[in-house]
Amino acid sequence: MADDQFPGWHGTTIIGVKRGDEVVIAGDGQVSLGQTVIKGTARKVRRLSPGGHDVVCGFAGSTADAFTLLERLEAKLEATPGQLQRAAVELAKDWRTDKYLQKLEAMLIVSDGAEIYVITGAGDVLAPEHDVAAIGSGGNFALAAARGLMETDLSAEDIARKAMAIAADICVYTNGNLTVEKITK
């Protein structure tokens, strides 16, 4: 889908960083409508605990669409306890084939502490190659910064925070009000 057909691209930055046995997902708090900032303190990173198995999710795109996907993901996780990859693949299959879900304009980064996945409406479940994933309008800026910082001794949280600060300095649709969730396996 082209960027001009997907207004949700312009509105957030989410990053996931895996370092050792810890994963951190961080998201900014800015909500934009066109060129206007509507809110600066939104929470776009959530912790789900279906069946007692923690999963951390961050979303970019349309908020209502993202909440629909989070609800669907939670149902998939309840059906396959402790199997994030399987739940993510099942969600991606539904997203790609269901006519209602196909119209949803959002992306997710999810982690159970062992792995990080990016789930897209194109039916993709992507595991990042370098233990860093980023989505949203400032995603490429945050990704580049985090990839450079992975060569340091910084913790996953410090890398995520620094990468998000760089993205917020560059992307007008990203701010520095972060929600940060850590998960370990």
Q: Is residue 12 annotated as part of the catalytic site, yes or no?
A: yes
DSSP class of 185: -
Letter for the amino acid at 68? T
- Is residue 118 within 8 A of residue 135, CB to CB? The reply is yes
Strand order in the sheet with 116-119: 45-48, 55-61, 106-111, 116-119, 125-126
Rounded-to-integer distance, Cα 85 and Cα 147, Å: 23
* Burial letters 102-122, b for 16+ CB under 10 A, else e: eebbbbbbbbbbebbbbbbbe
Q: Which of 12, 13, 80, 174 is catalytic?
A: 12
User: Which residues does the annotation mark as catalytic?
Assistant: 12
